[in-house]
Amino acid sequence: MFEDVYLWIKALHVIAVIAWMAGMLYLPRLFVYHSEAEIGSKQSETFKVMERRLLKAIINPAMTVTWLAGLYLAWSGHWFSFGWLHVKLALVLVMSAVHGFFSRWLKDFAADRRPRTQKFYRIINEVPTVLMIFIVIMVIVKPF
């Protein structure tokens, strides 16, 4: 029975990670396009709705489920003594911080504040990808 629950939680974790990453890869791309839109334009207002819905309906819940399911898996699998998990958790903490920055920048866009350039958002768009690569390596390869 425990094994079945573990596998269902693991599946839930993977699904949540995919949803979280999809949002984390798409939201900064929306910021790139939003930063080009004229303040007050219909396009700008559309981006505000898209960004808010993406964050509230997909990214936030997916991050929460990722954390809860992941911590359960680590606890029930007795993984906390392994170095690879420590590195993975540190990287997921960084990903969560990036998520927090995205949330803050969304509020800036919602208030028509644009203190950053389009180039900034293009560069920051790569951060979740790099983090994801190292997280997956820790989980699959378990180098230490």
List helix spans (H) across 39-79.
42-53, 60-76
Q: How many CA atoms lie within 13 A of 114 on its CB side?
A: 18
Binding region for heme: 13, 88
User: How far is residue 21's CA from residue 32's CA, in Å, rounded to a whole number?
Assistant: 17
Binding region: 13, 88
**Residues 111/100, Cβ–Cβ less than 8 Å:** no
